[in-house]
Structure 1
Amino acid sequence: MVLQYYNLLKDSCVYLLVANRTHQLSTTAPVAKIQRGGGAIKKPTQNTGNKHDGFRSKTVVGSPLDLQLIRRHMSISQSPVGTPANFYSKAKCFWSQVPATVDGMLSGYTSLNVPDIADSEMFLDEFGPSTTAYALDCGSGIGRVTKQLLLPRFSIVDMVELTQSFLDQTENYIGPDDFPRVGERFCIGLQDFTPPAGRYDLIWIQWVLGHLSDLALLAFLKRCAHGLSPGGVIVIKENITSPGGHDEQSIMNSEEVNFDETDSSYTRPRSAYIRSFMDTNLKLIGEKAQTNFPSSLYPVRMFALCYDVEQKTSPT
């Protein structure tokens, strides 16, 4: 294995590249394949007290997620106590350095594309919406999920992505046959994005919620609920923490939160997501574990949600 570390100092952003084998971008120039520290697919990291205890003590991220305490001490527009001042800018810097390729979208784990899409297809078969006019791909990157999962099922797919270079590549990646069915492409972070009201039969959110603070996560889920069409479904697919690896009991009991300084993201436990669904009046209608991923990686969980209209509240 060839390891290459590049420290790119820009706006206090440190970018880590780990190359593990070679491939060719052209017929003449071999280059290192990129497997990043940080990014979408990750190996678990150990929490350290000096990195995480400050966040936990302020109950911004950790165990338990004390939503009432958060509301008493800060408004939804404020940054959580304990969240680094450069939390969002550092993530933006990180992703701006990532190649606009499938390899880049998958942190170098390109071989996991097939099992990822296969399990997502089966999940939608079981829990997806009955109407398939309009979908939204959140954290879309170059459109890997849009092309392989959503466009085969939905008439129109919108994309929201922070990194402009990824959106610039979408037409070439998706191809001339399917790209005309890509609707709007929003270049914006999810913390600032509001889905058009009542538009989407499906809102797909994968490997991106770790880039939101707890408050921003709650606010975004509420806005997504109001972006659903009648009978619409939200699907969340995320890494989750588990001290015992892929053991189901460990997953169910985990309250551990990991913060990745490389890409400025949190990996949360399943319990934190369940609490956030309850607080935003989203009803859990389906849940599955991703299969056929290496046991050395974080467990990946899929959640299907609908808006609980009986507890309907105004978005914040």
Structure 2
Amino acid sequence: VDSSAALLTTARANLYSGNPGARYIAEPVQDFQPDPGAYDVICLQWLAMYMTDADFLDLLRRLLPSLKPNGLLFLKDSIVPTGQEQRRDGLRLLRTPEHYEWLLRTAGFHIVKHGQQALEPVGATNPMCLFLAGGSPVSYIPDPDSEEHTETLLPLIGWDSETGGYHLSLQALWHGPHSQDWKSHVVQYWNERAATINNPEIAAMDLKESLAFLATFFPPGQRFKRKGLDLGAGVGRVAQGVLLKYVYTVDLVDTGAHFLREAQRRLGTLNLKGKYIAAAVEDVEIEAQAYDLICLQYTAIYTSDEDMLAVLKRAATGLKDGGIIFVKDNVPSDPKKFQVNHDSGINVFRIVAHYRHIYRMAGLRVLAQEQQQEWLEGANPVFMWALQPEGP
């Protein structure tokens, strides 16, 4: 869209083969009437500075409904240097970044990300602000690696590995109109899956590194006094290959009764006193101060933040003095964006900072964090954490 037909003719010639099916609309941007739900991305670059606040607000309000779900508006424009007030520079109105943020929020947009850019030589050119904004609220978490957790915020945005689309909010995914579909797909997938070891090609390397990771916390000689809990135990692969190397008895929890029957068959006399509890991880009651080791492996990806937080808090009360919560799970291939998958029901790979935020909210400290080293080429990374309740 541009008011200059000549510029659009040049744009069409330059973009022809790389922009099939596009329209080239010769009219002032202020008059453009976009179709509802038409665009994934809308770009406004070096445009707003030629418009009054009233005209720009009117444009923003017309553009917001034209974004697809999770669509984004990209705004880039010249601003005044830090500490200066907005001013006129010929035909241009140089605003502050705070004023642009106010305009976007007033129009109904939610800020996803923002920043500034300076061109060389500094002082000879005006700095620029950059905004990504959408129609859905964005969740933020404190950066766990910053010295003051409240100073630096990280946006929780992600992408869908099946559709390629973006998600601006995990809360919308878990609590939106399709949240029940999400949960039912997970239950249906595991109810229909045979009671066998999932991904046997990685089982040996997975167990080997879990054993090495936990060895620091469970010196030999005390195994017969220890008890473990496996949340999301499946057929007992981790209980058999890891937990029972460090504890004498393991209680296993899983929603699938057929998985637990297979687990009981596999473990047999190795776990004579262990219980096999058919329940959802988020619903199970955990006995207080009963366990030396509580395991959540490949379980967190199927639970919401609220459920995960509740599970971890109950798990913390279930630990004996000196006990450990062991979490092992997938993280995204892009370390800055969560990843939504559809390969085993629907699941979410959180970023590492998100896991650490949840642990802190649950009152847990991270004793150790490691990435699985031996793994399938091209597969998503896997991280391990050892957690304990914060001290008084």
Separation of aligned partners in 1, 2:213 and 2:178? 33
Q: Would the aligned equivalents of 1:240 and 1:301 in 2 still touch at CA under 8 Å?
A: yes
User: 2:238 matched to which residue of 1?
Assistant: 145
User: 2:272 matched to which residue of 1?
Assistant: 180
Q: Would the aligned equivalents of 2:249 and 2:271 in 1 still touch at CA under 8 Å?
A: no
- Of structures 1 and 2, the one scoring higher in RCO (CA 8 A, sep 6+) is 1
User: 1:309 matched to which residue of 2?
Assistant: 391
Question: Deviations for 1:86-144, whole angstroms, at most 9, x for unmatched residues?
Answer: 33222111001111112xxx2xx312111111101100112448864110111110101
Do structure 1's residue 229 and structure 2's residue 311 form an aligned pair?
no
User: 1:291 matched to which residue of 2?
Assistant: 373
Separation of aligned partners in 2, 1:87 and 1:61? 22
Equivalent of residue 114 in structure 1, options 187, 192, 204: 204
Structure 2 runs not aligned, ≥5 long: 1-66, 73-111, 113-135, 142-153, 158-168
Seen in structure 2, the aligned counterparts of structure 1 residues 83 and 121 have a Cα distance that, compared at 3 Å, is farther
- 3-state SS of the aligned residue for 1:297? coil
Separation of aligned partners in 1, 2:175 and 2:191? 25
Seen in structure 2, the aligned counterparts of structure 1 residues 222 and 83 have a Cα distance that, compared at 3 Å, is farther
Q: Would the aligned equivalents of 1:194 and 1:224 in 2 still touch at CA under 8 Å?
A: no
Q: Would the aligned equivalents of 1:218 and 1:280 in 2 still touch at CA under 8 Å?
A: yes
Seen in structure 2, the aligned counterparts of structure 1 residues 262 and 232 have a Cα distance that, compared at 3 Å, is closer
Separation of aligned partners in 1, 2:376 and 2:177? 33
Structure 1 runs not aligned, ≥5 long: 1-48, 74-78, 244-250, 311-316
User: 1:123 matched to which residue of 2?
Assistant: 213
- Aligned residue type for 2:243: L
Separation of aligned partners in 1, 2:140 and 2:69? 12
Q: Would the aligned equivalents of 2:140 and 2:156 in 1 still touch at CA under 8 Å?
A: yes
User: Which segment is superposed worse, 215-224 or 124-133?
Assistant: 124-133
Seen in structure 2, the aligned counterparts of structure 1 residues 50 and 197 have a Cα distance that, compared at 3 Å, is farther
- 3-state SS of the aligned residue for 1:263? coil
- Aligned residue type for 2:186: A
Seen in structure 2, the aligned counterparts of structure 1 residues 283 and 266 have a Cα distance that, compared at 3 Å, is same
Equivalent of residue 80 in structure 1, options 156, 163, 175: 175
Seen in structure 2, the aligned counterparts of structure 1 residues 255 and 96 have a Cα distance that, compared at 3 Å, is same
Normalization by structure 2: what TM-score?
A: 0.55
Equivalent of residue 203 in structure 1, options 294, 317, 329: 294
User: 1:170 matched to which residue of 2?
Assistant: 263
User: 1:194 matched to which residue of 2?
Assistant: 285
Q: Would the aligned equivalents of 1:159 and 1:185 in 2 still touch at CA under 8 Å?
A: yes
Do structure 1's residue 238 and structure 2's residue 333 form an aligned pair?
no
Identity value in percent: 26
Do structure 1's residue 91 and structure 2's residue 186 form an aligned pair?
yes
**Residue 59 of structure 1: how far off its partner (Å):** 4.4
Separation of aligned partners in 2, 1:212 and 1:165? 21
- Aligned residue type for 2:180: A
- Aligned residue type for 1:295: E
**Residue 259 of structure 1: how far off its partner (Å):** 4.0
Q: Would the aligned equivalents of 1:134 and 1:200 in 2 still touch at CA under 8 Å?
A: yes
User: 1:272 matched to which residue of 2?
Assistant: 354
Question: Deviations for 1:184-241, whole angstroms, at most 9, x for unmatched residues?
Answer: 1111111212311111100011001111111111111111111111111001000001
Seen in structure 2, the aligned counterparts of structure 1 residues 258 and 226 have a Cα distance that, compared at 3 Å, is same
- Aligned residue type for 1:205: L
User: 2:164 matched to which residue of 1?
Assistant: none
Q: Would the aligned equivalents of 1:60 and 1:81 in 2 still touch at CA under 8 Å?
A: no
- 3-state SS of the aligned residue for 2:245? coil
- Aligned residue type for 1:228: L
Q: Would the aligned equivalents of 2:332 and 2:380 in 1 still touch at CA under 8 Å?
A: yes
**Residue 258 of structure 1: how far off its partner (Å):** 2.1
Q: Which has the larger Rg? A: 2
> What count of residue pairs does the alignment treat as equivalent?
236
Separation of aligned partners in 2, 1:230 and 1:53? 49
